[in-house]
Amino acid sequence: MIRSLLLLLFSIATLAAQSADMDSVEIKATHIAGKVHMLEGRGGNIGVFAGPEGVLLVDDQFAPLTVRIVAAIRHISKEPILYVVNTHLHPDHTGGNENLGKMGIRIVAHDKVRERLADGFINRATGQKGPPAPEAALPTLTYTERLSFHLNGEEVQIIKVPAAHTDGDSIVFFTGSNVIHAGDVFRTTTYPVIDTNHGGTFHGTLQALSIIIQLANPDTIIIPGHGEPSPLKEVLEWRKMLVTIANRIQQSVDKGDHVDEALARNPGLEFNHRWAAESGWASEKEFMTTIYNELQSR
């Protein structure tokens, strides 16, 4: 009982702080290609696919930003918002679900996303599982492998990828506009964030990037979960870097090195200054440790 009360109080305090922190956030819209725009605010990049039949969103950031996000969309299109696709469960990508769901917008996601949202998000800082998402925030249209929308004169392919950032990751391919929204499978800000609490894997990240590479061509624009829209060559370079790091750590594993010994060999030597986050899963130590643990367990 006491633990439940403490979790509730922690959640209320977090929401209050989050709301105050969002007061100064402005939503920036950028046309990417064809019928696709990108919105930036606080959290994951939002994809906006707009045409005469309506609007499809990819991710929705945080609840306090919903009004501003919808206002930004209205500058792009006056047509109804029909769907929002969640690329994965994290609250900086699904935090607006409840608001949009109450507006009658259908929430679309992989089966695993609905399952994990309904079960409660595991807070990385505390290790505690939070309360289940409200019913209005849960995806109402789910899929196992892939789903296609035929909307605004083009096919929109939603493709489940192997467990990468989480175990419920999907990418969204706007075939006519030649744009891929990669969710947090790809980012231009840091090393990959491998959320092992929610089933993420390094090997799956490499596989997911390979799927993006297979779908894309030199003219494709890839919207990352965080960071700047990128051409295919940047995804290729990012994946090549990850393979280089993994090969170095594999050599340490093969020698029988302990994790501290493997990290002391500095497998990210020429990459850390650009890609290592200051803290968290994408920091040098935690990212390299995640790779080591996964390779060592094989």
Q: What is the pLDDT of residues 153-192, one digit of tens each?
A: 999 999 999 999 999 999 999 999 999 999 999 999 999 9
pLDDT (0 to 100) of residue 14: 45
pLDDT (0 to 100) of residue 215: 99
Among residues 245, 234, 235, 239, the alpha carbon closest in space to that of 294 is found at 245
- Give the pTM: 0.92
The alpha helices in the chain, defined as continuous H runs, are: 2-21, 66-76, 91-94, 97-102, 111-119, 202-215, 232-255, 259-264, 272-275, 284-296
Q: Which two tokens stand for residue 252?
A: 């340490």
Task: Please answer whether residues 42 and 64 qualify as being in contact, where contact means their C-beta atoms are separated by less than 8 angstroms.
Answer: no
pLDDT (0 to 100) of residue 10: 41
Q: Which two tokens stand for residue 145?
A: 């492998």
Distance CA 276, CA 283 (A): 5
Distance CA 78, CA 68 (A): 15
Task: Please answer whether residues 69 and 96 qualify as being in contact, where contact means their C-beta atoms are separated by less than 8 angstroms.
Answer: yes
Structural domain boundaries of the chain? 25-231
pLDDT (0 to 100) of residue 126: 83
Q: Max alpha carbon distance in the chain (Å)?
A: 61
pLDDT (0 to 100) of residue 19: 53
CATH number for the domain running over 25-231: 3.60.15.10
Task: Please answer whether residues 30 and 40 qualify as being in contact, where contact means their C-beta atoms are separated by less than 8 angstroms.
Answer: yes
Length of the chain: 298
Task: Please answer whether residues 23 and 62 qualify as being in contact, where contact means their C-beta atoms are separated by less than 8 angstroms.
Answer: no
Among residues 59, 46, 93, 58, the alpha carbon closest in space to that of 198 is found at 93
With a CB cutoff of 8 Å and minimum separation 6, the contacts of 234 are: 188, 222
Q: Which two tokens stand for residue 155?
A: 């096919």
Q: Classify each residue of 21-51 as buried b or exposed e, where b means 16 or more C-beta atoms within 10 Å of its C-beta.
A: ebeebebebeebebbbbbbbbbbbbbbbbbb
At CA 185, angle to CA 180 and CA 189, rounded to 5?
A: 95
Task: Please answer whether residues 262 and 216 qualify as being in contact, where contact means their C-beta atoms are separated by less than 8 angstroms.
Answer: no
**Partner residues linked to 108 by β-bridges:** 85, 141
Residue ranges in the chain modelled with pLDDT below 70: 1-20
